Structure 1
């Protein structure tokens, strides 16, 4: 399994997503390295299909992408059980990782 965390430097939520992603992987007992990918240009955003920072790709797919979502350098919001947040919850990450 290949996991990538796409982000841009000014995003206040990418480090939270990184921490939660590592916690989810520990919960599942999967010692997978998370590759961090810094996205800095619109061209890179287009190349990666970057729906905002932070984005998690599992084997090249964004499990949280909404159909028709725009691509670009922006902060990303996630629907969570607690409301809108800047990162998926640990439980949401465990769910998508367990399906991979």
Structure 2
């Protein structure tokens, strides 16, 4: 499994997204899976077709939360919807669900 976290510089939600993603991988028996963090710039955003705002999680090149998002045209923040409202990162339960697939 290839896991990437696409972020912009100084994203306030990078750390929570990374920590939740790491815990979800560990909790589902994938503790050996590396998380590649890729920081996007204005120049590189076009090469990241799946980028829908910071942070974006990609699993094997696919955004498992794509149905909630629209592609970002610039270096913007992303909002995730959950049963508890909106957040700047997916919940731990949502991340566990997508890494189990």
| TM-score above 0.5 | yes
Q: How much does 1:44 deviate?
A: 1.8
Contact 2:68 2:80 in 1 (8 A): no
2:36 maps to: 35
Deviation readout 1:9-46 (Å, 9 max, x if unpaired): 221101100000000001101020000101011x4222
- After TM superposition, the structure 1 stretch with the greater mean CA deviation from structure 2, 58-67 or 78-87, is 58-67
Establish whether residue 6 from structure 1 lines up as the match of residue 6 from structure 2. Answer: yes
Change in Cα spacing, 1:68 to 1:54, as seen in structure 2 (3 Å) is closer
2:24 maps to: 24
SS of equivalent residue, structure 1 residue 15: helix
Deviation readout 1:27-85 (Å, 9 max, x if unpaired): 101020000101011x4222112110000000001111137713231000000121000
Q: Between Structure 1 and Structure 2, how many residues are aligned?
A: 98
Runs of 4+ in 1 over 2 A off after TM superposition: none
SS of equivalent residue, structure 1 residue 5: strand
- Work out which of the residue numbers 89, 92, 95 in structure 2 matches 1:90: 92
SS of equivalent residue, structure 2 residue 6: strand
What stretches of structure 2 of length at least 5 have no aligned partner?
none
1:81 maps to: 83
Change in Cα spacing, 1:35 to 1:64, as seen in structure 2 (3 Å) is same
